[in-house]
Structure 1
């Protein structure tokens, strides 16, 4: 059945900025930057060599599409580590020189979220394409400013929502797109681990951003309202455990649980439809995606539930094969193809803006002890 529907799968469309804060990807125009092939690897400058930067550097260093010319970081120790690993790369504390280097094509930003806006703005103003770690920025106003700046300059602004490039998540999108699940009913996800506690963002902005990007990519939908609750646990002053419920313009509903206070690492999601249900477990290396032919349906049985004849249906479980390549490898290949004008951006700045708008609504709801907050205009 999966093979039969594969020719109906459409590649995710790119997206363009809207007048409002939030617009479904379905009604966006494709984000395409027309560029002539340059016949050489793209010259890259990496800013940040802390938690995520080393992963980007490792992939850039072995990529045929990129030449990692610069690594910048405020820490002398981390720069020394970078010099040891990548001897031909110029290592700097201040990235300013990299912005003015005419050889640099793209800047990759892997720094604390509170620094994203200024670094991305500076790079775009110097004519550089940008790939920035999640979240895009810490508010929708600055996120929209970056989206508009990139559009004016004809530059790529891509957001590193890495899970979108995993084979498992792409398989989820395929199952939804070809109708395997039927009408979507609900999404439930848990993403917990012990740390890493962030100083400038809470657990929703740190962890839930992944589930939001997965949900947006898989369903091509955005919520209309959010309810969020949580608590800050010492020694962290940030919200370290939080729960988010997302409401849509129909019966579909989503729930996301996050925490930095778990002794075990869990990355598990359930997406249920009227026909079938799928479980995605990022930690289950052998069977990350499991498709269940199960559900609740009308029955001729005498068992009555609220005046309706219903029965449960438990069928087979199928674990489809998924692409096991590292997500960053796939993402950088895609970025290079976009820079050459061969592909449309899967996660443009507009997608990052959407996620920021949802997180802003969640923050407002947290401040209101869980009262639902509308997602949309910045004044919502």
Structure 2
């Protein structure tokens, strides 16, 4: 996870979530272990400690000294370098994985095989084939597999989902996002794999039922000779004929975080760098009105009219997204249901990323993609059932 705006509290701070409803402490909290004490792990530790439905028992990292520094005041939490020791603890019913992506598949699979529910940082794995295998295994074992698509649990994205799914904006006509800044050039992935997962997970989260990605095209450039794309443009064709477009860039001297979602009735504008009005709902757009007075020969033509209405900025209660992630993870386990960003959501995002990488190799050609990899998942389910 390289986006710092979601980690808005320092590790170890006990800061209440403003406006958040009180969470009752359950009689039997779910025992949890965090794996990885690097960049994101400390945030998981803090939020697990502040979630009444969870009880943190372990922090596992290859550098035990780093684990101890992270734990600090959490004297009841033990540190270890042994993942096997964590999995052998019967008190641990769930594991949160915050390691480099290359280790996700091995760690998540071992946890699922040990009967543990799993929360895993994105991307869920480094390949769709591996992700499909984990999804099938979790479903076969009746375990929760959740992806930490953190932005999806911010109040603004939750409100956007409500507005889109509730039909307030009408039919989705376009999705346009910009995520640029003078950022750290990653040594192992290009800018698409570094930044685009944020926007693709949001796209997956807010799209209404029945609207699915069907094709991906991507173009990238490496103007500084880094050996990988540092600037990229990604276009996703949707099943309703609309386009979703993402611009990601490590080289911009200015930071921009905006998303526009246009609908047939209203348009949503999300500016994540404007805390006073992160979300604006515009009652503006283009209407196509069939002319009643024209002859049948030209009745198929439409009159274009422009609608200029009011702009409303909904009030949003500021909450730390990761606190909501932990609450959703605990709720899914307790209620025996799929979380909002389950393993299948992580698989869909990976599928888009893989299609984008292939498109880059093909010079920007559109690569077909399915919203749900039915064949891969069915094969993986069969493999899991025979183990």
TM range, normalised to the smaller chain?
A: 0.7 to 0.9
- Decide which of 342, 348, 360 is 2:342's aligned counterpart: 348
Match of 2:60 in 1: 72
Q: 1:268 and 2:262 equivalent?
A: no
Q: 1:39 and 2:59 equivalent?
A: no
Q: Deviations over 1:83-106 (max 9, x none)?
A: 424333212233221112111111
Distance 1:62 1:249, change over 3 A: closer
Match of 2:145 in 1: 157
Q: 1:133 and 2:127 equivalent?
A: no
Distance 1:209 1:75, change over 3 A: same
Contact residue 161 and residue 213 of structure 1 kept, 8 A: yes
Q: CA deviation at 1:286?
A: 1.6
Distance 1:59 1:236, change over 3 A: farther
Alignment map for 1:116-195 (pairs within 5 Å): 116-195=104-183
Q: CA deviation at 1:70?
A: 1.1
- Decide which of 227, 239, 243 is 1:253's aligned counterpart: 243
Distance 1:80 1:152, change over 3 A: same
Q: 1:197 and 2:185 equivalent?
A: yes
- Decide which of 279, 283, 287 is 1:293's aligned counterpart: 283
Distance 1:296 1:252 in 2: 15
Distance 2:259 2:153 in 1: 16
Greater mean deviation of Cα atoms: 361-370 or 212-221: 212-221
Give the number of aligned pairs: 337
Distance 2:233 2:317 in 1: 30
Alignment map for 1:1-380 (pairs within 5 Å): 39-76=27-64, 78-220=66-208, 221-232=211-222, 234=224, 236-298=226-288, 309-341=303-335, 344-376=338-370
Q: Which has the higher contact order (CA 8 A, sep 6+)?
A: 1
TM-score (norm 2): 0.81
SS of match in other structure, 1:43: strand
Contact residue 144 and residue 338 of structure 2 kept, 8 A: no
Contact residue 114 and residue 200 of structure 1 kept, 8 A: no
SS of match in other structure, 1:262: strand
Q: Deviations over 1:224-264 (max 9, x none)?
A: 11000112355744432211000122321110011222233
Distance 1:298 1:158, change over 3 A: closer
Distance 2:68 2:254 in 1: 32
Distance 2:193 2:187 in 1: 11
Q: Deviations over 1:344-370 (max 9, x none)?
A: 411110111111111111010011110
Match of 1:22 in 2: none
Greater mean deviation of Cα atoms: 199-208 or 175-184: 199-208
SS of match in other structure, 2:72: helix
Distance 1:243 1:47 in 2: 34
SS of match in other structure, 2:335: coil
Distance 2:206 2:154 in 1: 12
Match of 2:385 in 1: none
Distance 2:174 2:130 in 1: 32
Q: CA deviation at 1:193?
A: 2.5
Distance 1:137 1:272 in 2: 32
Q: CA deviation at 1:63?
A: 1.8
TM-score (norm 1): 0.83
Distance 1:352 1:359 in 2: 11
Q: CA deviation at 1:130?
A: 0.2
Distance 1:71 1:265 in 2: 34
Q: CA deviation at 1:207?
A: 1.5
Distance 2:336 2:131 in 1: 26
Q: CA deviation at 1:122?
A: 0.9
Distance 1:170 1:223 in 2: 21
Q: CA deviation at 1:156?
A: 0.7
Distance 2:106 2:86 in 1: 15
Distance 1:375 1:298 in 2: 31
Q: CA deviation at 1:203?
A: 2.0
